[in-house]
Amino acid sequence: MKKKTKKRSWLYYFYKENVMYIWVVVGIIVVSGFSIGMSIGKLTENNSLVLDNNNVKNNTINHSNISNEQISMNNNNNSQIDTNKQINSQVDTEKITPINNSNKENNGKNSNENLIPSIQTNSEDIEKQTNVAEEKLEFIMPIQGEVSRDFTTDTLVFSNTLQAWISHEGIDILADLATPVKVIEKGEVIEVKNDPRYGYIIIVDHGQGYQSIYCNLSTVDMVHVGKKVEKGQVISGVGNTALFEIKDNSHLHFELTKDGKNVNPTEYIK
């Protein structure tokens, strides 16, 4: 009799042929699951520690706030007690010390008497300042010489250099080269330059809106911007640097302005 062979399923043959691989996969799954479980446990422990620390901090902050509030309340109570003591002491002194009305009246009179001289001195200072501000300016000639060309804005004068009829917003005073040029009144030098038309120029501010302008100079090295100058002080010499008047005889081209407008110098110079 032949023995009947038991029919095996495909799973049996698959397991038999791949048993080693199957156990390796199972081992990997077990190890990875164990490591995942350990990491989850550590995370939960860390979270619990963080929560505990936060609770401790909150409790300490609450305790400190409570203690600070108690301290501030105690300080307020102490300050109120001190103020009450001061009020009581002031009331006691006012009851003990009588008020002397005569002394108050005398003090009032003395204070009024002291105010009177101070008011007088202040008014005197104001008057002095106004007098200084309104001090009359007396202009002198910058050089002695003949006026060869007058101031004119309405009519024209003939220019030998330009060979044309032009206006002339200053005066030309004849003088030899290097003749000393003087300041017509005390003031402050506000500009020193080399103008392409009128050569070396120095401008002095005299206050009250007046400015004197000295042109066709020989040098500008004797003064500088910001320098204080006195009436009659020499600031330069007559030169020959004005290209617009180079063909004229040696002279000083002089201008005077009032509030920014050119005026006739001969009407202001004595």
Mean pLDDT computed over every residue of the chain: 75
> By percentage, how much of the chain surpasses pLDDT 90?
42
User: Amino acid identity of 103?
Assistant: N
Tokens 């799954």 -> residue: 29
Res 33 pLDDT > 70 = yes
**Domain 147-267 sits in which CATH superfamily?**
Glucose Permease (Domain IIA) (2.70.70.10)
Main-chain dihedrals φ then ψ at residue 125, nearest 5 degrees: -65, -40
Top mean pLDDT of 5-19, 52-66, 119-133, 143-157 is at: 143-157
Domain spans of the chain?
1-98, 99-133, 147-267
Nearest to 206 by CA among 110, 119, 139: 139
- The confidence score (pLDDT) of residue 53 equals 52
pLDDT band of residue 93 (cuts 50, 70, 90) is very low
Q: Stretch 44-58: mean pLDDT, rounded? A: 53
**Banded pLDDT at 67 (limits 50, 70, 90):** very low
The length of the chain is: 270
User: What is the reported pLDDT for 79?
Assistant: 53
The model scores a pTM over 0.75:
no
